[in-house]
Structure 1
């Protein structure tokens, strides 16, 4: 008897991202086949190069763009572990 597992095909075809000031996080999307997966990156992850008291949304978005390869790698690992429709990435995901 042969069994086949569907391979996880998480991708990030849309480079759009947005900053949510009230929740202090950046939102971006991934796709697993036809399913949309919402990811959030805590502002504390992005603030290593920023002075948080004076940082504005553009600063967090620029930091996200600079860290994008690391963020996408962490997102893939978190999705593989959790396989949920919504995933929050915090400092623990980047250790």
Structure 2
């Protein structure tokens, strides 16, 4: 299984609700086994700038991740969120079976 994790920060704090709504569009992507969007609590005192949102999607394998990213809902989320975000970082990892 693959866990896809993406971190987003807003270019303007007034856009947080709009960004969150745009990220939640991905919950209906049929390629994700599990999906969640979380606002960062920003409790880590060591970190510098921190993201506003963490998105996690669990997918069966690399092919499912590619299909997830090729799905129209992924494109729609990008269309809504990209103009409002500052930073986006992503990481993908294998979860033990």
TM-score if structure 2 supplies the norm length? Answer: 0.30
Q: Which has the higher strand share?
A: 2
Question: Which protein has greater RCO, CA pairs closer than 8 Å, 6+ apart?
Answer: 2
State the structure with more CA Rg. 1
TM-score if structure 1 supplies the norm length? Answer: 0.31
